[in-house]
Structure 1
Amino acid sequence: MELRIHFTADDLTRITVAPRPDPMWELVNSLHALQARRTAPAHAPWLEHVRGRLARSDLREPIRLLTTLVPARGRFPDFLTPPHKGGMEVARDLIRSTPTDRVRAELAACRTQRTPPDRLRRLAEGDRTARQELDLALTVYFRELLVPQRQLIDDVVHSDRAHHSRDLLEGGAERLLSTLSPCIRWEPPTLVAAYPRDGDLHLRGRGISLIPSFFCTGRPITLIDPGLPPVLVYPASRRSGCTETLDALPELLGRTRAMALCALASPCSTGELAVRIGVSIASASKHASVLRKARLVTSTRRGCEVVHALTPLGREVAQGRRRGSWCGE
């Protein structure tokens, strides 16, 4: 079965790739991973972390509530994954402010039981305590199970984005769409993805947001409601060697500076670099300065921002083209 996403010429100019992991898409996809019958190799370390946390803290109640909303298979409500450009706090605000009518309709559309669990019934009725319980469950789950693994998730997603940024620069939108994932193929003007059921999504000039996800494996995911801003969440590629080979040169660059070099495969500001490698803005600025002095990076002021980019030498080092592939394709 397949999902067919139909592009117009305007849609090809309105494709965006998420600049960082989306907290709620990672959360719902991690709930799928947690309930999967088979463990994906990439998720094994995280599941070990989960088991350790369960032994030391009371996470069973939040997990029970969230898995009621996001089952191992089947639909989950769109309001859990709101479109936004911020972090978890912004996502929580949007979820808390979802109109009751929408919550009720989406829960009904996803319901598989004739009599819904009491928690879902209260959510559908707009019960304030039920909303607070959901918000607390999301907060605890995110803090206890995802934040400690943030660096690993960031490394994989940012590496995938860097690869696809090069695809876009070298071959345009069609090259990008042709290289997203083995489970996705580009048949102009249609993007065809393996999916649990057959369906068609017509973009009609709205464009689409592509969101690479660490916890998404196998088939991509989209929203249920075709009237919402179009989204395609796809498995982030592990093809980059950055996260596996940074330890090979600890004495030359150090792990964080090597991560900064890899992160600049697509140019960005100092603040964006800080987000990509998980450090403060001051620290990111210092790393960029050292790389600039080594002629691996250039820095250009654009308005109130400084934008950093790899030099040809920096790109060769980052891609491992001179002496083996320590951080390349």
Structure 2
Amino acid sequence: MAGTLRIHFSDRDFLHVQFAKSPDPIWEAILALHVLTSPEPRVPVRLRPWRRRARHRTGTDLRRTCRLLADLAPPDAPYWPDFLTPVESEDGLAAGLDALRATSAARLAGELRVAAHHRNLPAWTRRLAAGDRGLLGQVADAVRDFHTRLIIPDWSDVHSAVAAERALRLDALDGGLGALLASLPAFTWRDPVLSAPYPHDHVLRLRGRGLRLIPSYFCHTTPVAIVDPRLPPVVVYPLPHRESAPPPAPHLAPLLGANRARVLTALENTTTTGALAARLSMPDSSVSGHLKILREAGLVESSRSGQQVHHRLTGRGRALLGA
């Protein structure tokens, strides 16, 4: 990777570090666009099934939507305009799209001017830079349509994977915020600087504003940072690679059923529902149902620690696995 992202913390910044509770719908839309429009060999294996499904769903009208968005945020661009990913999308797609449509003319012009320094922009973006509100509405509609038609069908997988990542980071928080920062995939923590590979050298000085960290299902290369220093600092980062759960022993499936046997086998180590669901590529609700039955059978025990519930095998459960 050509450069490094360096995020400089002050003592005050530690008071304002936030960790996203759920996937950010607009960030996921833009980053999924990159998965869809990148050559398949550059896409991680875990995202290729989604890419194939999405390409199958992409008709003529949606191809036009993808071209419009890719003109503003192509996958190989070192920068794309920050107005495409408003901070308000943390409150949901509708709030984010409202903020996108309300982008000021001055901000449109300024951010597109920065983008033009990095690459040649299509001619139609001059109208957008001039403050064309109708064209800006088309950009917002394109984000909405892309998200609704290509991401919503797989949103439970996205949500489960991000929830599992959040659970792992909150586990690391037991050792303090420094331990959480040190545990972030793709990052290196050397107090007071958090760094990661990046397309070019970029320094982000937090200056007491804190940092919002957003794990992303579709982010698959390097972390992405909001560039404008006047905006709230945000860094989106890819989910770590996780080994798939081992297959259950042959004697378990006839006794418990295939999926319940998978859940029991994956509980070799203490874990949360979200982490277990992500590892098994199963919906949270299904995993919760299997855990309830395994708990009632005395094979699993669960305990709450703050907002998290951890599950582990009982002695009986371990004996059954080893039978």
TM-score for the superposition, normalised by structure 1: 0.76
2:131 is matched with 126
Deviation at 1:255, TM superposition (A): 9.7
Aligned counterparts of 1:144 and 1:31: Cα–Cα separation in 2: 12
Change (3 A) 1:202 1:322: farther
Q: Structure 1 residues 144, 278: closer, same or farther in 2, change over 3 A?
A: farther
1:45-71 CA-partner distances (Å, limit 9, x unpaired)? 0111122112x5631110110000101
* Matched position secondary structure for 1:193: strand
Partner of 1:220: 223
- 1:152 and 2:157 correspond: yes
- The SS at the match of 2:226 is coil
Answer yes or no: is the 8 Å Cα contact 2:7–2:205 preserved in 1. Answer: yes
* 1:191 aligns with one of 165, 174, 194: 194
CA shift in 2, pair 1:309/1:296, >3 Å: farther
Answer yes or no: is the 8 Å Cα contact 1:29–1:215 preserved in 2: yes
Deviations 1:160-216 (Å, cap 9, x if unpaired)? 1111110112x11111111111x3101111111111111211112211111111111
Equivalent-residue separation in structure 2 for 1:13 and 1:322 (angstroms): 46
1:12 positional shift: 2.2
Distance 1:146 1:189, change over 3 A: same
Distance in 2 (CA, whole Å) between partners of 1:230 and 1:321 is 46
- Would the aligned equivalents of 1:296 and 1:310 in 2 still touch at CA under 8 Å? no
Q: Distance in 2 between matches of 1:138 and 1:243?
A: 38
**Does the CA contact (< 8 Å) of 1:3 and 1:201 recur in 2?**
yes
Alignment partners' CA distance in 1, 2:228 and 2:257: 48
Q: Unpaired segments of 5 or more residues in structure 1? A: 266-276, 301-306, 325-329
Q: Retained in 2: the 8 A contact 1:159–1:240?
A: no
Residue of structure 2 equivalent to 1:9: 11
Q: 1:67 aligns with which of 70, 73, 80?
A: 70
Name the counterpart of 1:310.
309
Q: Is the 8 A contact 1:79 1:95 kept in 2?
A: yes
* Counterpart mapping for 1:1-329 below 5 A: 1-37=3-39, 38-54=42-58, 56=59, 58-74=61-77, 75-84=79-88, 85-111=90-116, 116-169=121-174, 171-181=175-185, 183-239=186-242, 241=244, 262-263=272-273, 296-297=301-302, 309-310=308-309, 314-316=311-313
Distance verdict in 2 for CA 1:154–1:226, change over 3 Å = same
Q: Contact between 2:4 and 2:197, CA under 8 Å: does it hold in 1?
A: yes
Q: Give me the whole-angstrom Cα distance separating, in 1, the residues matched to 2:320 and 2:195.
A: 38
Equivalent residues of 2:25, 2:93 under 8 A apart: yes
Distance 2:284 2:155 in 1: 9
d(CA) in 2 for partners of 1:130, 1:160: 37
Q: How many residues align?
A: 297
- Say if 1:10 and 1:144 are closer, same or farther in 2 by CA, change over 3 A: same
Amino acid at match of 1:310: V
- Provide TM-score, normalisation by structure 2: 0.78
Cα shift at 1:21: 0.8
In 1, Cα distance between equivalents of 2:228 and 2:237: 18
Deviation at 1:17, TM superposition (A): 1.2
Aligned amino acid, residue 100 of structure 2: I
1:11–1:207 CA contact under 8 A, matched in 2: yes
SS at match of 2:219: coil
The separation in 2 between residues aligned to 1:244 and 1:83, in whole angstroms, is: 41
Secondary structure at the counterpart of residue 272 of structure 2: helix
SS in 2 for 1:59: helix
Question: How far apart are the structure 1 equivalents of 2:320 and 2:197?
Answer: 38
Indicate conservation of the 8 Å contact 1:3/1:199, yes or no: yes
Identity %: 36
> What is the CA–CA distance in structure 2 between the aligned matches of 1:13 and 1:230, rounded to whole Å?
14
Letter in 1 for 2:156: Q
Indicate if the aligned counterparts of 2:214 and 2:234 stay in contact, CA closer than 8 A.
yes
SS where residue 27 of structure 1 aligns? helix
Asked whether the 8 Å contact 1:2–1:199 carries over to 2, the reply is: yes
Mapped contact 1:6–1:190 kept (Cα < 8 A): yes
CA distance in 2, matches of 1:82, 1:322: 52
What's the RMSD between the two structures over aligned residues? 3.7
